[in-house]
Amino acid sequence: MNSIREQALEKALAQLATIKNTSPFYAEKYANIDVAGLRTLEDFQSLPLTTKDDLRAAYPLGLSAVAPADIVRIHSSSGTTGVPVIIPYTAKDVHDWALMFARCYEMAGITREDRIHITPGYGLWTAGIGFQLGAELLGAMAIPMGPGNTDKQLQMMMDLESTVLGATSSYALLLAETIAERGLGERIKLRKGVIGSERWGEKMRARIADELGVELHDIYGLTEIYGPGIGINCEAQTAMHCWDDYLYLEIIDPKTGAVLPDGESGELVITTLVKEGAPLIRYRTHDLTRIVPGPCPCGSPWTRIETLIGRSDDMVKVKGINIFPAHIEEALARTEGASSEYQVMIDHLNGRDLMTVFFETGSPPERRPAIEAALARAIKDKLSLSVTPKAVNLGDLPRSEKKSKRIFDNRY
């Protein structure tokens, strides 16, 4: 463990001395634990994890660790089912988030000369406003477009000479494809893309980078822990640096909860170190990644996590094999003629599981059987699993402005 993470652990342990006094949520959760007496790494790792269900149970403002008047804003996580999670922020929390986001822009080589075209949504969601706060603190020009209306997006992008695009990967791809189709490339001045981290394949990344002519950076974050902006990949493009002066990071085995050594893949668990409104101790992100050991070629000392390989709840099991979206993306990357866009359908027919992989291709119909066979082979090599490949035309699969779902399990 490097010294930055040791310092983060010290801060995480020190915070435990008062957490029960400030947070009714943790006073209840850790009622039977002498958290103020915990001193070591092993002590810390013995603390029960905090889950999204815990946060839901605290709806609406049960997570708050400050007086109601000190809450200046709330955000809500986009739960797909059931009760949402509400995260209260103090003025300091909002400022800290902006500081972290501004740092992300700086790490990506973005300056106050830049014009940042912000397409993620505004509102309860943390995305758009995070991009904006960071841009304004940096001193860059924020262009708060929000999502949708591609015609207007492109017009503003040209008229205002936007230099940085903030977007989800699927919306960045939609914009890149539209710009290519309309032959607008010459009139677009973008030089960088800051893409909200969802797990996305190398092929999709390469297409967006090529068609927009930009350098891409993955920005990481989640509403429960401020929002996007808690980490970003540097110019060395090796992994995402996260701000350990605000966060203590751990990787656990998603099945057993055991802490894994640096370098091993598992679920990211985050403890906030200075958050006032809703401090979180050992929060399960469900994002699968690993801590990249050793120094980064860029020289930055901040801890690195690898680009997300999936979510622990995205994992599906077919014929006893664990499948992540990243597996399908790797197979697509190895298949000549296949594009990056795909959708997987898993069905249960005639007593057995059937996995169909739809993928886009620009190749003519007579070439498609060979491409389908190559993809099926690549997946078989990777997963020892037989699938049914189905080629479709470019643009046939849905694009979304929010995080896109790729694997549909229709068995239950």
- Site stretch for Zn ion (CB under 5 A), options 20-28, 209-217, 289-297, 404-412: 289-297
Q: Outline where 219-367 has alpha helix (H).
A: 325-333
Q: Outline where 79-234 has alpha helix (H).
A: 91-107, 127-138, 150-159, 169-182, 202-212
Written as one letter, the residue type at 150 is T
Give the pairing of strands 141-144 and 115-118: parallel
Q: Is 242 in the site for Zn ion (CB under 5 A)?
A: no
Considering only residues 33, 61, 298, 385, which one is a binding residue for Zn ion as defined by CB under 5 A? 298
Considering only residues 300, 312, 356, 363, which one is a binding residue for Zn ion as defined by CB under 5 A? 300
Q: Which residue has the tokens 């119909």?
A: 365
Q: What is the Cα–Cα distance from 373 to 356, expressed in whole angstroms?
A: 13
Q: Is 291 in the site for Zn ion (CB under 5 A)?
A: no
Q: Tokens representing 203?
A: 């092929």
Interface mask toward Zn ion for 7-46; x: CB under 5 A: ----------------------------------------
Q: Tell me how far, at minimum, the Cβ of 221 lies from Zn ion, in Å.
A: 18
SS3 393: strand
Nearer to Zn ion, 123 or 295 (CB): 295
Q: Tell me how far, at minimum, the Cβ of 322 lies from Zn ion, in Å.
A: 30
Q: Is 156 in the site for Zn ion (CB under 5 A)?
A: no
Q: Tell me how far, at minimum, the Cβ of 295 lies from Zn ion, in Å.
A: 9
Task: Say how many Å lie between the first and final Cα of the chain, rounded.
Answer: 43
Q: Tell me how far, at minimum, the Cβ of 302 lies from Zn ion, in Å.
A: 8
Give 298's contacts (C-beta < 8 A, 6+ positions apart).
234, 235, 236, 238
Nearer to Zn ion, 83 or 236 (CB): 236
Q: What is the Cα–Cα distance from 346 to 227, expressed in whole angstroms?
A: 32
Considering only residues 219, 234, 247, 371, which one is a binding residue for Zn ion as defined by CB under 5 A? 234
Residue ranges of E strands in 212-351 = 215-222, 227-233, 240-242, 247-252, 266-272, 283-289, 291-292, 304-305, 310-311, 316-318, 321-323, 342-349
Q: Tell me how far, at minimum, the Cβ of 267 lies from Zn ion, in Å.
A: 23
Longest dimension (CA), the chain: 70
Q: What is the Cα–Cα distance from 94 to 108, expressed in whole angstroms?
A: 21
Q: Is 236 in the site for Zn ion (CB under 5 A)?
A: yes
Q: Is 61 in the site for Zn ion (CB under 5 A)?
A: no
Tell me how many residues contact Zn ion (CB under 5 A). Answer: 5
Stated as kind and residue range, the H or E segment containing 36 is none
- Site stretch for Zn ion (CB under 5 A), options 43-51, 136-144, 299-307, 331-339: 299-307
User: Is 135:369 a contact under the CB 8 Å cutoff?
Assistant: no
Q: Is 86 in the site for Zn ion (CB under 5 A)?
A: no
Nearer to Zn ion, 19 or 234 (CB): 234
Nearer to Zn ion, 170 or 289 (CB): 289
Judged by the rule CB under 5 A, the positions of this chain that interact with Zn ion are: 234, 236, 296, 298, 300
